[in-house]
Amino acid sequence: AQKVTQAQTEISVVEKEDVTLDCVYETRDTTYYLFWYKQPPSGELVFLIRRNSFDEQNEISGRYSWNFQKSTSSFNFTITASQVVDSAVYFCALSEAGVDSGGSNYKLTFGKGTLLTVNP
């Protein structure tokens, strides 16, 4: 069964610092997708980034960047020059076909989240 682990429960930084959120996943599928979502205090989950299992190229999108390494099953997410508005809970999630359930569900399995607080 798929599993996502976010070892960091809470992180506190000062504005303009860089911060990296860790994510480790487990899956039996060879094709899967990894995501980061942000959940501000309002509660709505906001999609941030997505990566396919067959593409390990790391990218930068604005202040966001990610490091995907299949060898260590990790999908870490970095915010550069953090801002107070970045304060939220960040979730790493895994989507796969689901070999144990017919191979088509692509449901999301989430980690427990990391609470990021950016102080002014």
Partner 1 sequence: DTGVSQNPRHKITKRGQNVTFRCDPISEHNRLYWYRQTLGQGPEFLTYFQNEAQLEKSRLLSDRFSAERPKGSFSTLEIQRTEQGDSAMYLCASSLTRRETQYFGPGTRLLVL
Interface positions with partner 1 (CB under 8 A):
4, 33, 35, 37, 42-47, 50, 91, 93, 95, 97, 101-102, 104-113
Give residues with Cβ within 8 angstroms of 18, minimum separation 6: 78, 79, 80, 81, 82
Q: With respect to partner 1, which residue has the nearer C-beta, 83 or 101?
A: 101
Q: With respect to partner 1, which residue has the nearer C-beta, 61 or 71?
A: 61
- The least distance separating partner 1 from the CB of residue 30, rounded to whole angstroms, comes to 14
The alpha carbon of 100 is separated from its chain's Cα centroid by a whole number of angstroms, namely 24
Place of tokens 């999301």: 108
Q: With respect to partner 1, which residue has the nearer C-beta, 58 or 101?
A: 101
- The least distance separating partner 1 from the CB of residue 109, rounded to whole angstroms, comes to 7
Place of tokens 């692509």: 106
Distance CA(1)–CA(107), nearest Å, equals: 12
